Structure 1
Amino acid sequence: MIRTTAALTLALALPAGAFDFAQPIACTLGRDCHIQNHFDRDPGPGAADVACGHLTYDGHDGTDFALPDLAAMQAGVAVLAAAPGTVRGVRNGMPDIRVTDPAAPPLEGRDCGNGVAIDHGDGWETQYCHLRQGSLTVAPGDRVAAGQQIGLVGLSGNTEFPHVHLAIRKDGVALDPFAPDPASACGAAPQDTLWADPIAYDPFGFTGAGFATDIPLFDAIKAGLPSPATLPADAPALVIWAAYFGPRTGDQLTLAITGPGGEVIRETLTIDRTQAQAFRAIGKRQPPGGWPAGRYDGAVTMTRDGQLLGEQSLSVTIP
């Protein structure tokens, strides 16, 4: 679903006695999941991720591996133990609901939602938050192997989107797996990380794109709005939309549709504010006599300072 061309691997020196951690989610970064929030490297009231970017918030003490929409969560995506160890604690009974939903129960200190804590020995611990209600497959005292499923990605606790929050601690101190030296500032030269396999820092990515007959609601996109394979010739409009994470003020988003008779619509939009997630859409009303039959191709690109950040391509047929 996601294709991204800009990626940097950033890190710093490892603390003594460190070992490797595996990706804690069964998905492919840049295709069907992404990192929405990184560890906050700013020691003050501000926030900065490992690359001095905005993919974090003040005090965020982990890494958020996110799914593109609720449909992906409902299909079931496994949360995996990042390293071998012993399960220290679990919670499994909180509902999957956005924290801002009026029906959400009070957190009462349970911001992690459904979660698992694993002791890896020598002062190392990992915590996995926001798991799906009833999905946990481990109990306190269980021994787990690296890569073993411990639950499913959910929407429990203090969250607005489906993801697993991975926190890594050494002797009670939370560490950034991309830059584990607590004293280091953001943007330092890459060296070692806590990852068993390299994980790229991606400043931007598309989480979805599609055709529609009207401008969709963002809530529908976040629920998992499918792009149709066909549209009727009498569709009131032909719309192309794109959803993405990490947009920054000044980025350039281009959306275009080309049909049997040539270009239907093309527009380049300047992003007017930095956000965590967003979407945009453009469209054209039905022409007299309806839409010509044939294939319609959509193309979406995002650039920053003249450099391509990501692109999407899609198609729909009008019989």
Structure 2
Amino acid sequence: MRNVSFLPATLLPFLLTAPALAVELGLPAQCELGKTCFMQQYPDMDAGSGTADPLCGSQSYDGHKGTDLRILSLKDMKKGYAVIAVADGKVLRVRDGETDRLVETEEDRARISGKECGNGLVMELEDGYEVQYCHLKKGSLAVKPGTDVRKGERLGDVGSSGLAQFPHVHITVSHNGETLDPLTGRKLSEGCTAATEQTASLFPRDIVEKLDLTKPEILASGLAGNPVDHQALVIEGPPAQVLSSDKLFVAWVWLANLKKGNTIKLVLTDDRKNIVIDHTSKPIDRDKAIFSAFAGKKRALPAGRYELDVSVLQDGTDVRRTSSSIVVE
């Protein structure tokens, strides 16, 4: 559904060719990165009141110490996505019983005060490494303290317990008590860096190649028979596809980690290459962790095959693009 992008050429070789560390971490959930799950937020490497992701960008928030792997919606959460061990280890502590909900108000935040991690566990890995998991689904924990687990073994399910605004699993990685960013292998206390003088990633090459903190993510896109309700996306997921009997149609896109100044272009063409929709948004006024856009017409869309091209542009240049073929019945 989307094109895979790579880390900047100036960065990737150093992440992949630096000396290997003692552990290599897999994804913390059983999903397909960039299709059914997405890395949305990274550790905050700014020790002060500001925010900086590991590459000095904005894909974090103040005080965030972990890496968040999200699935799209609560509807997907109910289907079940397994949280799995990122490496071999032993379970030290667990917590279950916290309700899955989305935190939207200050009252919600107060309700989970002291239990922001929600349901989770702490695992001891080898050579002084530990990993904490947060936000698992209530009642899904499949391990107990003292359980030895192998890399890839199910620990529970992705949830939205604790301080969660979308269903995800959060991992905090530490080594001998120092919190690390698993993408770069750097200590959070070292601060962010846009340079290449860094240790090897704790993630293997196939994961690193799919992560690019300099670009937004296209979570989903398509054609719908009604205007898209942005707030409903995280609950119900993508809207139902348009039918030729619907009285209107919209091309839509759901995005994460937009940058200030990005514009969103939606182009819909029919099977004869005729342009049905050609819409470009106004520049985004500030960085956006989550955003959606749509454009459409108040008429029925004839049955047939259509091509939807979605582009995110910065100063007129594509920074992320996806294209999909859609059959309308």
Using structure 1 for the length normalisation, give the TM-score.
Answer: 0.89
The 5 Å alignment of 1:51-70 reads 51-70=55-74
Structure 1 segment 135-146 matched on structure 2, within 5 A: 135-146=140-151
Aligned partners of 1:94 and 1:156 also within 8 Å:
yes
The CA RMSD over aligned residues, in Å, is 2.6
Letter paired with 2:139: G
2:207 equivalent to 1:199: yes
Partners of 1:207 and 1:25 in 2: how far apart? 17
Distance 1:112 1:15 in 2: 33
- Checking the alignment, whether the CA contact within 8 Å between 1:211 and 1:241 is kept in structure 2 is yes
In 1: Cα distance, 2:26 partner to 2:305 partner: 43
The number of residue pairs the alignment matches comes to 314
Q: Is it true that 1:311 corresponds to 2:322 in the alignment?
A: yes
- Structure-to-structure mapping, 1:56-95, within 5 angstroms: 56-95=60-99
Match 1:148 to one of 125, 130, 153: 153
How far has the Cα of 1:20 moved from its partner?
1.9
Shift in Å at residue 256 of structure 1? 1.8
Match of 1:213 in 2: 225
Instruction: For residues 106-154 of structure 1, give each alpha carbon's deviation from its aligned partner in whole angstroms, at most 9, with x where no partner exists.
Output: 2241110000101124432110000011111100011111111101100
CA distance in 2, matches of 1:125, 1:148: 16
Unaligned residue ranges in structure 1 (runs of 5+): none
Distance in 2 (CA, whole Å) between partners of 1:2 and 1:222 is 19
Kept in 2, the 8 Å contact 1:12–1:191? The answer is: no
Contact 1:99 1:160 in 2 (8 A): yes
**Matching residue within 312, 318, 322 for 1:302:** 312
**CA deviation map 1:20-72 (0-9, x unaligned):** 22221111211111111111111221111122111001111111011122222
In structure 2, C-alpha distance between the alignment counterparts of 1:96 and 1:128, rounded to whole Å = 15
Aligned mates of 2:109, 2:163 — CA distance in 1: 10
Aligned with residue 187 of structure 1, among 194, 207, 223: 194
Q: Give the match for residue 177 of structure 2.
A: 172
Q: Secondary structure at the match of 1:221?
A: helix
1:41-56 to 2 correspondences below 5 Å: 41-56=45-60
Shift of 1:12: 9.8
Cα shift at 1:174: 0.8
* Equivalent position of 1:249 in the other structure: 260
Deviations 1:153-191 (A, max 9, x none): 000001100111011111222111122232253212165
**Partner Cα distance (2:165, 2:130) in 1:** 25
Amino acid at match of 2:162: G
Aligned equivalent of 1:5: 5
Relative to structure 2, which stretch is displaced further, 4-13 or 107-116?
4-13
Match of 2:287 in 1: 274
Instruction: Tell me the amino acid that sits aligned with residue 72 of structure 2.
Output: P
Please state how far the C-alpha of 1:285 moved relative to its aligned partner: 1.3
- Seq. identity, %: 34
CA contact (8 A) 1:13 1:191 kept: no
Distance 2:271 2:151 in 1: 52
Relative to total residues, which structure has the larger helix share, 1 or 2? Answer: 2
* Structure 2: runs of 5 or more not aligned: none
Residue number among 33, 52, 67 corresponding to 1:29 in the alignment:
33
Corresponding position of 2:139:
134
- Secondary structure, aligned partner of 1:276: strand
Shift of 1:291: 4.2
Aligned 8 A contact 2:21 2:200 in 1: no
